[in-house]
Amino acid sequence: MVDTLTIRSVFPKLGKKWLVYFHENQFAYPSKKYKPFDINLVLRDVKRARIAENVAFNSEFNRDSFFTGLRKLIKMTPGGFGEEVLEDIQSKAIVLPVGLDDFWFESEPTERTPGPLRLLWNHRWEFDKGPEDLLDLVRSLTKSETPFELYLAGQDFRTIPDAFIALKKDYSSCLRQFGKIESFAEYRRVVEHCDVVISTAIHEFQGLAILEAVAAGCTPFAPNRLVYPEYVPGAFLYENVSQLTKQIRRLDLQKRNSIDVEKYRWSLLKPQYEMWLST
């Protein structure tokens, strides 16, 4: 991470204007079990926002969790940060989502290919994406004798959570994809082929993988937390795996999703970016 405060103090003439874009913030970033909360990372976020002329967040959740965390920090720091810091950052902050390439919206509605329910999970293979809940969901659907195919895409790493090992070992018969799809054309084909896209995340500030799949026609199911209530209708939000199982089993496979995520289209967001960059 770049220490913008130090750079600007050492090189005051470097750049006429400083802009900071938060695609996540450390106040709401989940700590790993072996890595405790680091106050220095939080302070670095605050310093960046403080010295910038323009500040943008990629979602309302990102913005609101940042300011909620900052208010708590102010209360915990006698003689430290003041309300003026909060007011200054708020006055120059906007929400400006990352845009989706227009081609995601160009999928032509077609008659569904016959077959079982096709589930897509397309996230990083790390602890903060909730793989244990995904494993619980697969167990629950299997126990309920719900026919389904599972496509596990997303970036995998040298060390992966145990849940993925269990999925490959115990549920290989329903797996149609296991690991990152290197070809973008093939990835897009898989997304357009699937009925449902699922998130089990405990960390998400916008959710581009879900948004792209929704734009391509998938029905989303996501936890009722984080950024998801901003664009996933309440009928597709869940509180626990048991509820998610019931929602998926009730899904009408012949009914294409009509969820509107048009506001995330890049061609519509581009003028907003141009204005933010030039103001």
User: CATH 3.40.50.2000: which residues of the chain?
Assistant: 102-263
Per-residue pLDDT at 258: 81
Q: How confident is the model at residue 114 (pLDDT cuts 50, 70, 90)?
A: confident
Q: What is the pLDDT of residues 82-108, one digit of tens each?
A: 789 999 999 999 999 999 999 999 877
Q: What is the pLDDT of residues 213-241, one digit of tens each?
A: 999 999 999 999 999 999 999 999 999 99
Q: Is 120 exposed, middle or buried (0-12, 13-18, 19+ CB in 10 A)?
A: buried
SS3 87: helix
Q: Are 47 and 70 in contact (CB under 8 A)?
A: no
Q: Which of 197, 233, 228, 201 is nearest to 213 (CA)?
A: 197
Cα–Cα distance for residue pair 196/198, rounded to 1 Å? 6
Cα–Cα distance for residue pair 274/279, rounded to 1 Å? 9
- Please indicate whether residue 68 or residue 79 has the higher confidence score (pLDDT): 68
Is the model's pLDDT at 3 over the cut of 80? no
The mean-pLDDT minimum among 58-67, 72-81, 108-117, 162-171 falls in 72-81
For residues 50-77, give the mean pLDDT.
94
The mean-pLDDT minimum among 47-61, 110-124, 225-239 falls in 110-124
Per-residue pLDDT at 273: 98
Q: How many CA atoms lie within 13 A of 193 on its CB side?
A: 17
Cα–Cα distance for residue pair 56/96, rounded to 1 Å? 6
Specify the fold of 102-263.
Rossmann fold (3.40.50)
